[in-house]
Structure 1
Amino acid sequence: MRFQARQFMRNGVIHCKATIEEVFPLLCPKKEEEWIPGWECETIWSTSGYNEEAAIFRTVKPYDTELYWTTLQYDMNNRVVDFLITAPRLYMFRFKIDIHENGNKILAMMFTQVFTSITEEGSTLIKRYESEDFDLRLKRLEELMSLYLDDERAKKHMQ
């Protein structure tokens, strides 16, 4: 029997009281070590060591799946971050973040993820991701980002 790929898309929004200059650097797999507990990232290729177009990162934790992140677009002027993420022999997914300013220094980060399995095992995994509460995951990221930014602002005030 021939393998039948599975694909699904999910969307969500994170809101944050911050400027684009504060938030944009945090949208980097390596920088996420600073604000997401348990996150670990290895920089495979990047001239700066951080996110930039054509950078490649590797993560395993916190989700216990080896992922390779290739940055397709990292453009603060156009307020977009776009990755192609590969879980070898399992699935690939496109992960795009579009950032919009809602006024009063409130940013809305629109997350779009499109998963496509490349093996039967990958189909099983993304079927599980499909049933996951993505809004709950994004709510947690929103809380973590806000806490981190509040802490950074407090440190600057104390200097």
Structure 2
Amino acid sequence: MTASPIASTVAVEKPYRSKRTANFEIAAAPDAVFAMMCPVREYEWAPGWTTNLILSASGLVEQDCIFTTPAGASIASNNDSAEAIWVTPFHDPETRRLTMIKVTPKECVTRLDIAVDETNGGATVTASYEHTALSPKGRVIVDGHTEQSYAATMAEWRNALSSQLDAAA
């Protein structure tokens, strides 16, 4: 078998990544919870959340919404990442599912999948973050994506969303 000519000019590496998934329950209507999974609505419940630009026909998250976040902006604690570009390739309010892809150039690509399901007491949120390193700094981000740090981030989400949705009720 002959080696591909691209193999000699492009680095091909095994991905360095980490994926974490968590579930938490909120005593609120699933549609109300899902509506909060938006870069605009996040200002209502995520202290310190900020964006630079949101490209959206509706003014809220939607299929193909694009937004940017400045350096250090994050829904996760203790983040010192660079400016990032987020794209929402999948958004389905009927099934309450969405996917966002965050690209932090020269650092990391992050995939965020969110599902909000109805339960007897309100809603269950399932959130998965998958970080893939693009550089040594990205490897530090991946390595910092531990079970403990992710559990803390999801506890922050649950507490902040519950407080906001309780206040709005």
Q: Does 1:19 align with 2:35?
A: no
Which of 38, 47, 68 does residue 85 from structure 2 map onto? Answer: 68
Task: Look up the match of 1:57.
Answer: 67
Which of 52, 56, 60 does residue 46 from structure 1 map onto? Answer: 56
CA deviations 1:77-110 (Å, max 9, x no partner) are 1120111111111110110011211213x21111
Q: Which letter does structure 2 place at the counterpart of 1:74?
A: H
Task: Give how far 1:115 is off.
Answer: 1.1
More displaced 10-residue stretch of structure 1: 90-99 or 61-70:
61-70
- List gaps (5 residues or longer) in structure 2: 1-10
More displaced 10-residue stretch of structure 1: 58-67 or 11-20:
58-67
Q: State the distance in 1 between where 2:96 and 2:35 align.
A: 11
Q: TM-score, normalised by structure 2?
A: 0.81
Q: State the distance in 1 between where 2:69 and 2:23 align.
A: 23
Task: Give how far 1:30 is off.
Answer: 2.0
Matched residues, number: 151
CA contact (8 A) 1:13 1:110 kept: yes
CA contact (8 A) 1:30 1:57 kept: no
Q: State the distance in 2 between where 1:129 and 1:91 align.
A: 12
Q: Does 1:108 align with 2:124?
A: yes
- List gaps (5 residues or longer) in structure 1: 154-159
Task: Look up the match of 2:139.
Answer: 123
Other structure's SS at 2:161 match: helix
Q: Which letter does structure 1 place at the counterpart of 2:60?
A: Y
Q: TM-score, normalised by structure 1?
A: 0.86
Task: Give how far 1:43 is off.
Answer: 3.1
CA contact (8 A) 1:30 1:42 kept: no
Deviant stretches of 4+, over 6 Å: none
Q: State the distance in 2 between where 1:48 and 1:150 align.
A: 26
Higher Cα Rg: structure 1 or 2? 2
CA contact (8 A) 2:31 2:96 kept: no
Q: State the distance in 1 between where 2:46 and 2:154 align.
A: 12
Q: 1:29 to 1:44 in 2, by over 3 A?
A: closer
